[in-house]
Structure 1
């Protein structure tokens, strides 16, 4: 079975990212392409890793969390364990976002209340409204 190889430009085009982005993930140790002279050579394994990295970023995972997912991908050949770990990361991210959403709703309510108080004060005191 022959292994498919990709250039950095091919991966950048496929995933609509810059080559600089891919090099950043390399510098972070998330991608480990082989080298042929000065040329980076990516296998399908690196392509899948890039896909996982970008999916993790879209979901709002940190690089640390993405690294953990990739370690499971590297160490576990059991896809079920990989999926369970990813589901856990997704649930954690969802809980954080739900808490942020709740905090934003409270803040918006407070802003509405203060704005109404200010508008009422202006309406009840024509001298303040003129300034």
Structure 2
């Protein structure tokens, strides 16, 4: 069973709270720093903003990302890595309530995770079957190639 999405990576980094807590000026990140820190493009960050996944502070044309935005981006990237659509990721993280039990968020995350695990297991089966077929094909091609190489070197 998969764990609900948290702001850590699959290796189990410390949970990063998504609270609206106070973000001092030194906690804000510019878009270029954010892109570099998370190894994403500026375009990706703007796209995630357009989709409502991130809400940077705007100062003129500058985008400043808070601790909350960084935590949400970690969740987006983890969700994508696990094969969830951006829509699914948004549904899961938008249910987060820093003052509540988050039972609804956890139930939704568990439901979506179970479904995704089923899809991934089916994909694994299909990939394993394709690999087995490809190995059989390559064995047959090697055998035929070997026969023809031997036949052409021993003209009869």
Shifted more, 58-67 versus 108-117: the winner is 108-117
Q: Is structure 2 residue 78 aligned with structure 1 residue 58? A: no
TM-score normalised by structure 1 residue count: 0.72
Structure-1 residue corresponding to 2:31: 8
Following the alignment from structure 1 to structure 2, what is the Cα–Cα distance between the partners of residues 16 and 50?
Answer: 11
Alignment gaps of 5+ in structure 1: none
Following the alignment from structure 2 to structure 1, what is the Cα–Cα distance between the partners of residues 32 and 97?
Answer: 24
Question: Helix, strand or coil: the match of 1:73?
Answer: coil
Native 8 Å contact 2:95 2:102 kept in 1: no
Structure-2 residue corresponding to 1:84: 107
In structure 2, the CA distance between the partners of 1:119 and 1:45, relative to structure 1 (3 Å rule), is closer
Root-mean-square deviation (CA), in Å?
3.1
1:100 positional shift: 0.9
The number of residues matched between the two structures is: 129
Alignment gaps of 5+ in structure 2: 1-20
Following the alignment from structure 2 to structure 1, what is the Cα–Cα distance between the partners of residues 146 and 31?
Answer: 63
Following the alignment from structure 2 to structure 1, what is the Cα–Cα distance between the partners of residues 61 and 127?
Answer: 49
In structure 2, the CA distance between the partners of 1:108 and 1:14, relative to structure 1 (3 Å rule), is closer
Question: Helix, strand or coil: the match of 1:78?
Answer: coil
In structure 2, the CA distance between the partners of 1:119 and 1:44, relative to structure 1 (3 Å rule), is closer
Question: Helix, strand or coil: the match of 2:95?
Answer: helix
Structure-1 residue corresponding to 2:121: 98
Q: 2:63 aligns with which of 24, 40, 58?
A: 40
Question: Helix, strand or coil: the match of 2:35?
Answer: helix
